[in-house]
Amino acid sequence: MFSLNNKTALITGGASGIGLAISETFAQAGATIHILELNREAAEVAAGQIRAAGGQAQAYGVDVSVQADVQAVVDQIAATGPIHVLVNNAGIAHIGTAETTTEADLDRIYSVNVKGVYNCLHAVLPYMKASGGGVILNMASIAATLGLSDRFAYSMSKGAVLSMTLSVAKDYLTHNIRCNCISPARVHTPFVDGFLAKNYPDRKDEMFAKLSASQPIGRMGKPAEVASLALYLCTDEAGFITGTDYPIDGGVVRLST
Ligand code: NAD
């Protein structure tokens, strides 16, 4: 069960945090991994580690917000064979309300979290259609449906990821392409550690505990837990699932009082 043998998977932002866990998990399940990363060096390290562990992985330095660059990399990968799986995971965060978010902030979040997803969909969908189908998984967030406090631009962008998921799922039903998204609550990744180090250098432990307690289950998620759900959704066992948003949130959406 849950095999990706002989499948090719593109994973954006696949060199850190949740994306890295997905790259490793999918490689262990037999997929050939293509990591599309802004941080090429980290992508080379991740791909090297996967190969050292017996898997197959390639790294590409690409900014998902630049359409021509995404198209060129996708064309290059598609020339080697069918693309079976696309995981749109790359994303960036921002703190601010509608008042404190500047035009530049909004454009930056939009260009990576929204346009970056569109760019990858735009480039990959024609190849999936031509090869008879595929699976797309987008990384949304509980912000998409809850609208997190002081996360105006980020919540906007993840709402767009959710609606792009639904739109693609509908448009490509007859092309045998499934499209779903995952909505994690707080997951312990380098992003969280960086955020605490930058904003609360003297209160890191206290704030880590606070962020952990904001999930009713009492802790943050682990990247590997998100990767396990991602694996399921991208395998044939999930063949009846499309157009769905999966919370993985320690109870936030349903159990918070
Ligand atoms: P992370 O910062 O650890 O990793 C993100 C990766 O994306 C990095 O390697 C970065 O280099 C890459 N990236 C950023 N901009 C890029 C671009 N323009 N082009 C290509 N690659 C780019 O982040 P993470 O915490 O693992 O988050 C991964 C995804 O999960 C994001 O979409 C995030 O919004 C979402 N998410 C995270 C959490 C959380 O608590 N960590 C919760 C809900 C959703």
CATH number at residue 54: 3.40.50.720
Integer-rounded Cα Rg, in Å, for the chain is 18
Q: Which of 82, 85, 74, 77 is nearest to 135 (CA)?
A: 85
Please count the structural domains in the chain: 2
Per-residue model confidence (pLDDT) at position 257: 77
Ligand 1 lined by 190 (C-beta under 6 Å): yes
Question: Is 93 domain-assigned?
Answer: yes
Q: Cα–Cα distance between 7 and 84 in angstroms, integer?
A: 6
Residues 156 and 216 in one domain: no
Question: Is 90 domain-assigned?
Answer: yes
Residues 98 and 197 in one domain: no
Ligand 1 lined by 38 (C-beta under 6 Å): yes
Residues 78 and 139 in one domain: yes
Residues 93 and 202 in one domain: no
Q: Match 């307690």 to its residue by tokens.
A: 213
Residues with a known catalytic role: 154
Q: Which amino acid is at 130?
A: A
Stated pTM of the model: 0.98
Residues 103 and 215 in one domain: no
Q: Cα–Cα distance between 134 and 168 in angstroms, integer?
A: 12
Give me the average pLDDT of each 10-residue run along the chain (257 residues).
97 98 98 98 98 98 98 98 98 96 98 99 98 98 97 98 99 98 97 89 95 97 98 98 98 93
Residues 126 and 171 in one domain: yes
> Considering only CA atoms, which residue is closest to atom 31 of ligand 1?
91
Ligand 1 lined by 63 (C-beta under 6 Å): yes
- What separation in Å is there between the alpha carbon of 103 and the centre of ligand 1? 21
Question: Is 3 domain-assigned?
Answer: no
Question: Is 226 domain-assigned?
Answer: yes
Structural domain including 204 reads: 187-220
Q: Which residues contact 27 (CB under 8 A, 6 or more apart)?
A: 33, 50, 53, 55, 56, 57
Coil, helix or strand at residue 218: coil
